[in-house]
Amino acid sequence: NAGVTQTPKFRVLKTGQSMTLLCAQDMNHEYMYWYRQDPGMGLRLIHYSVGEGTTAKGEVPDGYNVSRLKKQNFLLGLESAAPSQTSVYFCASSYPSGSVYNEQFFGPGTRLTVL
């Protein structure tokens, strides 16, 4: 199993450009999450999804949109990138609701720089 994979690993954007980050998991997890991590800070939840076709806002959703058209994929979109969105983005997935352990499995991250 590949676990959680993220595409791309690195990206440089100019202010105002758009892009989509792809997260894929092969563990049949119901829940998927997008976080951002800035230097010296912990992870902050952007959006999450509790199942195919559903998404919800996290702690810092502004400037981002997400979609969960397939259970195994969770896309994070930036419609008009801003320098404040320069960060490392992590995707994660977890067991279905009601499981004894709700461990999150994280991807390797995408390093995004917005100039």
Residues of this chain that bind other proteins (CB under 8 A) = 4, 31, 33, 35, 40-45, 48, 50, 56-59, 90, 92, 94, 97, 101-109
Q: Give 49 or 85: the residue with its C-beta nearer to other proteins.
A: 49
Nearest-approach distance from CB 15 to other proteins, in angstroms:
26
Q: Are 105 and 27 in contact (CB under 8 A)?
A: yes
Of 84, 90, 83, 80, whose CA–CA distance to 115 is shortest? 83
Q: Give 14 or 39: the residue with its C-beta nearer to other proteins.
A: 39
Q: Which residues contact 96 (CB under 8 A, 6 or more apart)?
A: 29, 30, 31
